[in-house]
Structure 1
Amino acid sequence: MEVKIGVQHAPREIVLESGQSAEEVERAVGDALAGKAQLLSLTDEKGRKILVPADRLAYVEIGEATERRVGFGVL
């Protein structure tokens, strides 16, 4: 699923494809905003970890799960 993270005072947003479920991402964002964690920590599909300070979060957009398309045909 695609996750977009807006960071305060940064001109670009962070976009990543996450293997985590929407509920897991939402729980991580909620914990960061509630002060339970100082960092928002998410892992992308390639296993890279993205860390964003909780006090710098502007917004988080959680997209729908996308299916991988293979080939050139239209289905």
Structure 2
Amino acid sequence: FFEYIYLFKNGVYFQIEQVTKACAKLNLTEIWDPYDIPANSTYEDQYYIGGPGDMIEVQEWSDRKPARK
């Protein structure tokens, strides 16, 4: 597994291999594309990822037909 750190203003990103902790500094080849929810998306669900004291609330959106009926 890899962890990524993107520095769009600097035009680089870091790829960190989780087991060996090896880090590679690479050039970004694409411009910033903001993470967003497409206009035609459907709200699917809301839940938490993580555990007590170390979790994040997330929302799931899709651009397909509703998965839950």
**Which of the two has greater helix per residue?**
1
| Length-normalised TM-score, structure 1 | 0.29
**Which of the two has greater strand per residue?**
2
Query: Of the two structures, which has the highest relative contact order with CA contacts closer than 8 Å and spacing of 6 or more?
Result: 1
Bigger Rg over Cα? 2
